[in-house]
């Protein structure tokens, strides 16, 4: 049975020689009829030979068709009008041109690894004769063309939208096609009417132009929102501390922007320091933002504590509490230096209020918010600064200059006309937010902004889940290793329950492992993604991870043996020829093949293990192209 199914397509089309022989014989018989051969016999013989020639020609044609595909397909462009036609069904996702990868394709690929594919390419004239378009891959393009050529017939490929809701990974090295895949998926998400949020650390002008064009064509010009730290005056202002259900969420959100390797007592104290300020501001009916948090953590809790104690005194003793004899006595002692001030910014009234609170307010009437602030107030200032040293640099990055006014917007500032947005407004209005993080000149700020945005989005997803509301939000994160944090992992794990469906792109698994601290942590994060699109990947660790998700298949190997022997007697000679077919379980795609993929070509594991081989085309966002702009 194995011998019948084993194929060797990468060879000379010997069947074509047999076809020529049968055609020659048929012509000879036809010429000899009826002079030398009876007419009936000649007609039957000619018909039989013609049928054999046709059979052999069909066999040779199949071989030539497969060999013609070895030249691959060149990079192409697709007009938006045609793309719009191909993506007409909102419940299906168009993922490119290609075919489903079956065991016979793996067999052909393993066979190609044993030979030089150039010896079996077909001449252009014969390609035209076989009906193929001359769009074969030029030699100056990156990658091996024969990978896509294991199947001569390709078709537009679609997957149901619900199959891609389990999270999608797009992996590939620089300029391999990740950006083009993101542009395809984002354009379809905009067309479906999803809320779209894009985090782009490197600010791809081409991707932004495509997103703007999609918004203009399908949603209107006012749908697109842009954010860029280097050009704050041209974009929107975003408040990442606006949406919360519990004040403690803000402290957890700020903690999420700390480096992943920060842990232990310093991280816990940083969370507590933020939470104390947040609780105090909420008690004062002030909305927390990054500027206020930085001011009171760096400068001291004293202004918040003083105002909180004043409100408590009014509540307990009325508006004339300053005229109380006990308070006047404590204030006089404070003015004479009887009470040691923990910091230089503490006023005499604050010292008097603190002493009055601790001496004269009953324990039953004290408030947890004030007790927490007093704990921070009494803490040694020098030690406090040391244990919050990992927190202040991050907050300072996000509150300096124009960026501070962008991330901590003041709605009462009449001079600033930029729109103020938050994820609740974006989600309710159905906007498309394109966030450029600008990681090249300042990777630390880019990482902090991205991590803070993801933390806020995770909180919004939890809020929607708690409220039982659902609005499809498509989240796209390019260069995920720059911004990944615990909230993003939570979004990958549980975000679909809150309506957030995530697509992330990365170059190597090592980048993610370095960010998260270990390879196991990186694999744990990627384990939440059900679909994988693998473009050209040079890193062996990444290749192994991707190939593992593709699984294994049986590969046949043919062994031919020949032995001969001669005896001393003349004429005594023996010879033996044997053929053995064996089967071994091998990877469906060899790891090194991932490093040979041409640009815009990929292998994909989607819909619970369905393996696809596909290619993309550059999506034209406008009629012309920008001079010097790279293809992908």
Interval 170-211: pLDDT, tens = 999 988 999 999 999 999 999 999 999 999 988 888 899 999
The rounded distance, in Å, linking the Cα atoms of 623 and 379 is 65
The rounded distance, in Å, linking the Cα atoms of 173 and 182 is 14
pLDDT class for 130, splitting at 50, 70, 90?
low
pLDDT at residue number 567: 64
Residue 632 has pLDDT above 50, yes or no: no
What letter does residue 168 receive in the DSSP assignment?
A: E
Q: Alpha carbon 283 to chain centroid distance?
A: 40
Residue 622 has pLDDT above 70, yes or no: no
The rounded distance, in Å, linking the Cα atoms of 257 and 514 is 16
The rounded distance, in Å, linking the Cα atoms of 582 and 3 is 10
User: In whole numbers, what is the pLDDT of the chain averaged over residues?
Assistant: 85
The angle, 0 to 180 degrees and rounded to 10, between the axes of the packed helices 178-192 and 205-218 is: 20
pLDDT class for 305, splitting at 50, 70, 90?
very high
Residue 588 has pLDDT above 80, yes or no: yes
Give yes or no for a cis peptide into 50 (omega within 30° of 0).
Answer: no
pLDDT at residue number 265: 62
Record the tokens describing residue 104, joined without a space: 């016979």
CB-side exposure of 163: number of CA atoms within 13 Å? 17
Contacts of residue 10, Cβ cutoff 8 Å, sequence gap at least 6? 66, 67, 108, 111, 112, 115, 117, 120
The rounded distance, in Å, linking the Cα atoms of 370 and 305 is 7
The rounded distance, in Å, linking the Cα atoms of 302 and 478 is 42
- CA–CA distances in Å: residue 59 to residues 12, 17, 39, 153: 12, 11, 30, 17
Query: Higher-confidence residue: 62 or 532?
Result: 532
Residue 308 has pLDDT above 90, yes or no: yes
Least confident of 153-167, 290-304, 444-458, 574-588: 574-588
Residue 299 has pLDDT above 50, yes or no: yes
Residue 129: count of CB within 10 angstroms of its CB: 12
What letter does residue 123 receive in the DSSP assignment?
A: P
Contacts of residue 118, Cβ cutoff 8 Å, sequence gap at least 6? none
Contacts of residue 85, Cβ cutoff 8 Å, sequence gap at least 6? none
The rounded distance, in Å, linking the Cα atoms of 448 and 500 is 21
pLDDT class for 6, splitting at 50, 70, 90?
low
pLDDT at residue number 338: 74
Percent of the chain with pLDDT over 70: 93
Helix (H) or strand (E) holding 90: none
pLDDT at residue number 264: 58
Closest residue by Cα to residue 247 from 273, 278, 271:
278
Helix (H) or strand (E) holding 94: strand 92-100
Are the beta carbons of 506 and 476 closer than 8 angstroms?
A: no
Record the tokens describing residue 311, joined without a space: 């409100």
Interval 599-613: pLDDT, tens = 999 999 998 889 999
Interval 389-433: pLDDT, tens = 778 888 888 888 888 889 999 888 888 888 999 998 999 899 999
Interval 328-357: pLDDT, tens = 888 888 887 777 767 777 888 888 898 899
The rounded distance, in Å, linking the Cα atoms of 268 and 370 is 20
In the block, which residue shows the tokens 């399908």?
A: 218
Q: Exposure string (b/e) for 365-375, b if CB count within 10 Å is 16 or more?
A: eebebbebbbe
Interval 516-562: pLDDT, tens = 888 898 999 998 899 999 999 999 999 999 999 998 888 887 777 77
Residue 578: count of CB within 10 angstroms of its CB: 9
Interval 15-52: pLDDT, tens = 888 999 999 998 988 888 877 788 888 888 889 999 99
Least confident of 80-89, 111-120, 280-289, 398-407: 111-120
The angle, 0 to 180 degrees and rounded to 10, between the axes of the packed helices 302-317 and 265-283 is: 40
Q: Alpha carbon 246 to chain centroid distance?
A: 30
SS (H, E, C) 555-618: EEEEEEEEEEEECCCCCCEEEEEEEEEEEEEEECCCHHHHHHCCCCEEEEEECCCEEEEEECCE
Residue ranges of alpha helices (H) inside 100-172 are 103-112, 124-129
Record the tokens describing residue 157, joined without a space: 């490929």
pLDDT class for 625, splitting at 50, 70, 90?
very low
pLDDT at residue number 621: 66
């Amino acid at each position: 049975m194995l011998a019948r199914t084993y194929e060797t397509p990468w060879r000379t089309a010997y069947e074509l020689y047999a076809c020529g022989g049968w055609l020659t014989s048929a012509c000879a018989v036809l010429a000899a009829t009826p002079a030398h051969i009876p007419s009936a016999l000649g007609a039957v013989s000619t018909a039989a030979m013609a049928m054999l020639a046709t059979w052999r020609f069909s066999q040779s044609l199949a071989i030539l068709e497969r060999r013609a595909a070895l030249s691959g397909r060149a990079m192409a462009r697709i007009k938006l009008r045609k793309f719009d036609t191909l993506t007409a069904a909102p419940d299906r996702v168009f993922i490119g041109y290609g075919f489903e990868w079956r065991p016979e394709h793996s067999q052909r690929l393993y066979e190609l690894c044993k030979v030089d594919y150039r010896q079996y390419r077909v001449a252009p004239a014969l390609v035209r004769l076989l009906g193929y378009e001359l769009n074969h891959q030029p030699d100056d393009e990156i990658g091996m063309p024969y990978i896509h050529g294991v199947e001569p017939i390709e078709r537009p490929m679609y997957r149901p939208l619900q199959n891609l809701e389990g999270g999608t990974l797009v992996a590939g090295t620089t300029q391999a096609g990740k950006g083009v895949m993101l542009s395809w998926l984002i354009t379809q998400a905009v067309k479906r009417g999803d809320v779209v949020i894009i985090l782009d650390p490197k600010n791809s002008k081409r991707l932004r132009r495509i997103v703007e064009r999609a918004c203009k064509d399908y949603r209107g010009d006012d749908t697109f929102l842009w954010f860029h730290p280097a050009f704050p005056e041209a974009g929107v202002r975003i408040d990442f501390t606006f949406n919360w259900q519990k004040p403690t969420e803000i402290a957890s959100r700020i903690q999420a922007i700390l480096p992943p390797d920060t842990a232990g007592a310093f991280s816990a104290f940083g969370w507590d320091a933020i939470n104390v300020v947040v609780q105090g501001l909420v008690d004062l009916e002030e909305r927390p933002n990054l500027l206020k948090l930085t001011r009171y953590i760096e400068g001291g809790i004293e202004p918040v504590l003083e105002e909180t104690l004043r409100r408590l005194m009014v509540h307990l003793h009325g508006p004339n509490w300053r005229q109380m004899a006990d308070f006047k006595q404590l204030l006089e002692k404070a003015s004479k230096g009887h009470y040691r001030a923990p910091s230089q910014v503490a006023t005499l009234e604050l010292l008097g209020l603190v002493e009055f609170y601790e001496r004269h307010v009953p324990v039953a009437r004290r408030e947890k918010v004030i007790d927490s602030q007093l704990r921070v107030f009494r803490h040694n200032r020098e030690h406090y600064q040391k244990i919050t040293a990992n927190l202040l640099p991050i907050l300072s990055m996000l509150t300096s200059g124009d960026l501070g006014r962008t991330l901590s917007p003041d709605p009462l500032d009449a001079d600033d006309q930029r729109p103020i947005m938050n994820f609740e407004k974006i989600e309710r209005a159905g906007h498309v937010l394109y966030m450029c993080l600008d990681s090249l000149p300042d990777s630390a700020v880019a990482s902090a902004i991205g991590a803070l945005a993801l933390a806020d989005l995770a909180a919004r997803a939890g809020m929607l889940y708690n409220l039982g509301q659902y609005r499809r939000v498509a989240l796209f994160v390019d260069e995920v290793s720059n911004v990944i944090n615990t909230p993003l992992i939570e979004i990958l794990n549980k975000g679909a329950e809150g309506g957030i469906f995530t697509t992330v792109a990365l170059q190597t698994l090592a980048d993610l492992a370095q960010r998260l601290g270990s390879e196991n942590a990186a694999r744990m994060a990627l384990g939440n993604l059900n679909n994988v699109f693998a473009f050209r990947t040079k890193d062996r660790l990444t290749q192994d991870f991707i190939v593992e998700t593709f699984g294994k298949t049986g590969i046949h190997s043919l062994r031919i043996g020949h032995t001969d022997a001669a005896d001393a007697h003349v004429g005594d000679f023996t010879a033996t020829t044997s053929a053995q077919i064996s089967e071994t379980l091998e990877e469906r795609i060899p790891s090194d093949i991932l490093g040979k993929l041409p640009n815009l070509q990929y292998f994909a594991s989607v819909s619970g293990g369905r393996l696809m081989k596909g290619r993309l085309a550059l999506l034209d966002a406008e009629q012309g192209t920008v001079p010097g702009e790279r293809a992908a």
